[in-house]
Amino acid sequence: MRRRIAWKWVAVGAGAAGLLLAARFLPLQEWLKRFEAWVGGMGTSGMLLYGAFYVVADLLLVPGIVLTLGAGFLFGWGWGVVLVSIASTAAAALAFLIARHLARDSVRKLARKYPKFEAIDRAIGKEGWKVVALLRLSPVVPFSVSNYLYGLTSVRLGPYIFTSWAAMLPATVLYVYLGAAGRTIGEERAKSPWEWALLAAGLAATAAVTVILTRAAKKELAKARVEGTGD
């Protein structure tokens, strides 16, 4: 489990570094301007299209980190957080409903690939949405897969949706911030030392809060004997 979490952070770091390097050395500003012109011509439909693509990709079990970084890069921190928060929550709700009402047998087969699911199911049976919140903060199972697996548990839809939205928000803010930072670094205008300091301080503070919440969630999951199960 520790190796899996370590690799997750390595992947996030590599993705962010790649985005920053791309912003520095590729003509991303020109591409971004073209995309923004296209989105601007579509109005709100442009953001809705990106959000719909995000939902579909999530339902197809595509990792959402790249799309989350892209939302920050394309739409900025504020709108990026709003867009990803809504899209990721919608994807979580749809996958949950599919598993509970339409494809229960298929999802059960998927669950067999994750031995930890039995422990998760037992823990949710005892603590309900609290365990869902902890698992969102420190995922034992990949996010897009877990959306389906929760549909097999006893948690109710309403608490599941609200808890998922709230617990996913710290990571959403972090990844969107990284994407927005990549856009800022790629801008041609020279930045003052204060701007660089504010950018670094904001990134450090956001990352620190996310790490603290993740570690706290891991401890609580260990108490519930969720992370202590075999891989």
Q: Comparing 16-20, 138-142, 168-172, which segment has the lowest mean pLDDT? A: 16-20
What confidence tens digit (pLDDT) does each residue in 25-82 have?
Answer: 555 556 656 666 676 567 678 888 888 888 988 888 887 787 888 888 888 888 899 9
- What's 158's DSSP letter? H
Average pLDDT over residues 216-225: 62
- Residue 84's nearest CA partner among 44, 43, 54, 53 is 54
Residue of 123 and 89 predicted with greater confidence: 89
Contact criterion met (CB below 8 Å) for 188 and 108: no
The neighbour count for residue 3, using CB atoms within 10 Å, is: 8
Integer Cα distance of 130 and 103 in angstroms: 25
127 — pLDDT class (breaks 50, 70, 90): confident
- What's 187's DSSP letter? -
In the prediction, which pLDDT does 205 show?
Answer: 61
**What separation, in Å, do the N-terminal and C-terminal C-alpha atoms of the chain show?**
7
Residue 137 has pLDDT above 60, yes or no: yes
What confidence tens digit (pLDDT) does each residue in 156-214 have?
Answer: 999 999 999 998 888 888 888 888 877 666 555 555 555 556 556 656 665 665 566 56
In the prediction, which pLDDT does 49 show?
Answer: 85
Statement: the pTM of the whole predicted model exceeds 0.85: no
Q: Which two tokens stand for residue 16?
A: 């962010």
DSSP assignment of the chain: -HHHHHHHHHHHHHHHHHHHHHHHHS-HHHHHHHHHHHHHHHTHHHHHHHHHHHHHHHHTT--SHHHHHHHHHHHHHHHHHHHHHHHHHHHHHHHHHIIIII-HHHHHHHHTT-THHHHHHHHHHHHTHHHHHHHHHS-SS-HHHHHHHGGGSS--HHHHHHHHHHHHHHHHHHHHHHHHHHHHHT-SS---HHHHHHHHHHHHHHHHHHHHHHHHHHHHHHHTTSTTS--
What confidence tens digit (pLDDT) does each residue in 82-114 have?
Answer: 999 999 999 999 999 999 888 888 888 888 887
Longest CA pairwise span in the chain (Å): 58
In the prediction, which pLDDT does 81 show?
Answer: 92
Please state the domain extents for the chain.
2-223
